[in-house]
Amino acid sequence: MPTNMQEHKDKQYNDNLLYQLQSIFGFLDNTARQAYDPTDLVWSYKDYDGKPTNSGIQMDAQEFVGRFFDKVEESLKDTSQKYLIEDIFKGYSASQLICPSCGFNKTTIENWTTLQVEVDGMSNMHESLRKQLRGSIISEYNCQGCKKSVDATKRTLLTKTPNVIIVHLHACSSAWRRSPTLRSTQAMNSLNFWTSTPTASKRT
Ligand SMILES: [Zn+2]
C-alpha cells in the first residue's frame, strides 16, 4: 500500500485513506476497546478544498457516505479490489413510466449505494416500499407510444439489491422510529418487491 507521510502540527500522518481505514478495522479487530481515535482518518479524509475534514461541522449523512465510497473506489481502481464497493453496496433500481392506454413502458435503470425511503405518514418500511412499488400518477403525460396525453403511472422497482443495504430515511418521525426496521436482503425478498423485466446494466 502506498504511503504518503505528511507532517501536521509536529505529528506525522499517513495521508492515505485506505491505510487509515485498514488501521481502524485492524485496531477494532484486535482490541478490547470499544472506541477508536479517528484523528488520523479525519486528517486523511479531505474536504472539497483538499483540506483535512473539519469534524466540528455536521454533514448530510447520505452525502458523506456517497463521497466516502467515491473516494474509496477511486483509491481501489488500480487494484484487484476495484469492484469492492460495487459488490457489497451497489444496488440497481428501475424507474418506470407506464401508459395505461397503450402499455408503453419507459424504463430508466439507476444505481445507488443508499436506498432512499420516504417515511412521512408511513407506519413501517414495508408500507413505504410498497408505496414506491405502486407508484403515483403523472397527469397529462405525453405518451411516446400512443402519442396521447394520459395519466401515466410512475413507479420505482428494485432490480438488484446489494449484499449490504444502507437505508436513508426521509423525515424520520417518532412513530416510525418505534417500528421494526428492515435489515437484510432476505427481508427484502419477502416483500415481493422485484421485477423481472428490467435488467441492471452489465459491468464493463
Ligand atoms: Zn400510450
Is residue 193 within 8 Å of 131, Cβ to Cβ? no
Is residue 18 within 8 Å of 6, Cβ to Cβ? no
User: Residue 147 C-alpha to ligand 1 middle, in angstroms?
Assistant: 6
pLDDT at 34: 82
- Please list the rounded mean pLDDT of every run of 10 residues in the chain (204 residues): 69 85 91 88 85 84 89 92 94 94 95 86 82 91 95 93 87 52 46 46 48
One-letter amino acid identity for 34?
Q
Distance CA 145, CA 104 (A): 5
pLDDT at 94: 94
pLDDT at 201: 46
pLDDT at 101: 94
One-letter amino acid identity for 61?
A
pLDDT at 196: 42
pLDDT at 203: 52
Distance CA 114, CA 89 (A): 8
pLDDT at 76: 92
**Bridge partner residues of 154 (DSSP):** 97, 136
User: Hey, what's the cell of 179?
Assistant: 417500528
Q: Give the contacts of 131 (CB within 8 A, at least 6 positions apart).
A: 118, 122
User: Residue 106 C-alpha to ligand 1 middle, in angstroms?
Assistant: 10
Global pTM exceeds 0.75: no
User: Residue 141 C-alpha to ligand 1 middle, in angstroms?
Assistant: 9
pLDDT in tens, 11-61: 777 888 899 999 999 999 999 988 888 888 888 888 888 888 888 888 888
Exposed e or buried b per residue across 72-94, where buried means at least 16 C-beta atoms within 10 angstroms of its C-beta: bbebeeeeeeeeebeeebbbbbb
pLDDT at 3: 63
C-alpha dihedral sign at 23, 57, 48, 116? positive
Report the first-to-last Cα separation within the chain, whole angstroms: 26
User: Residue 1 C-alpha to ligand 1 middle, in angstroms?
Assistant: 56
Backbone angles phi, psi at 192, to 5 degrees: 55, 45
pLDDT at 47: 80
Q: Ion ligand 1 — residues with CB under 5 Å?
A: 99, 101-102, 104, 143, 145-146
User: Residue 108 C-alpha to ligand 1 middle, in angstroms?
Assistant: 17
